[in-house]
Amino acid sequence: MEIQVVQVILLALIQGAAELLPVSSSAHVIVAEKLMGIDPSTPAMTFLLVMLHTGTMFSVLLYFWPRWKKLSFHFLKMTMVATAATGVVGLCLKKGIEVFILERFYGQSQGEIEYLFKSLPLIAVSLGLVGLLILGSAFFAPPPFKSVKPVESSFTFLSSTIIGVVQGLCLPFRGFSRSGATISTGILIGISKERAEDFSFALAVILTPPVLLREWLRVRKTWSSGFGGELLHSLTPGFLGMFFSFIAGWLALKWLSSWLEKGRWKFFGFYCLFASVGVITIQVLGF
């Protein structure tokens, strides 16, 4: 099924708005694709999803740069530590799922993690888990670390590694919001909401380029014959989606920061639980 311009714009707005809120953009986009009759596990659609993520990455850079440029070199080093932990955990988990679950239990000759992207029950469970994590951080978090240098004291090797490991656990599962999980984890280990937000989105900016490259390689492998034409065909909706996801992402960031400052973080957790029930309902209805 060839995706239409209106569908690309709608998916971009959904992804851009949800990506930078802790409610899992991928889950929302995949559910929307299901309702449109689009298979979210195809290379073209997973590539489009990464292009939409790229649009929101640029909105993150533009929004956070005034805050990030005031932070120390220590902050950058700790993002590298967290990213390394994410890479190790994410790649190991991905390979384990592909080899031991998709190939052995689902009988795929060459399992790919993208096969899980169309599983609505798995998305529902992931949404429910991140909802509980958000609520846990909202109601049971310890007070943030107090120091003259809050960034230096908050982001240690251990705390950064913990956040990176949690992010790695999120990567294979659509519905397990990366930002929701990492910000919540930061809050639970005593980091202030603002610093946890800074750190979470700094990790997103670092993580997006290699994910985009991976999807380029996956598309190229799948479309080995006539690659140029197929790639151009996918780039056109991809760049259109990037523009609209950038706009939606910018607006979502302003909303998220406002709610974090006003103590409304818990409402995102309630929403994820509600969305989990909604996804199960859609599954029962046969989508």
pLDDT tens, residue by residue, 140-180: 888 765 443 444 457 889 999 999 999 999 888 878 888 89
Radius of gyration of the chain (CA): 19
Dihedrals phi, psi of 23, to nearest 5 degrees = -125, 10
Higher pLDDT, 226 or 247: 247
Look at residue 120 and tell me whether its pLDDT is greater than 50.
yes
Distance CA 122, CA 173 (A): 8
What is the value of pTM for the model shown?
Answer: 0.78
* Longest CA pairwise span in the chain (Å): 59
Q: What is the pLDDT of residue 160?
A: 94
Under 8 Å CB-to-CB from 45, ≥6 apart: which residues?
Answer: 3, 33, 38, 39
Q: At what angle do helices 265-284 and 227-261 cross, to 10 degrees?
A: 140
Report the distance separating Cα 48 and Cα 65, nearest Å.
26
**Cα–Cα distance for residue pair 274/100, rounded to 1 Å:** 32
Percent of the chain at pLDDT > 70 equals 81
At a CB cut-off of 8 Å and minimum separation 6, what does 11 contact? 29, 32, 33, 48, 52, 241
Residue for token pair 């909706």: 237
Distance CA 248, CA 238 (A): 15
Q: Which residue has the tokens 């990506």?
A: 19
Contact 208, 53 (CB under 8 A): yes
Domain count, the chain: 1
Confidence of residue 193 (pLDDT cuts 50, 70, 90): confident
In the structure, what pLDDT confidence band is assigned to residue 233 with cuts at 50, 70 and 90? low
Confirm if 69 and 57 have CB atoms less than 8 A apart: no
Please give the residue range of the domain that contains residue 11. Answer: 5-284
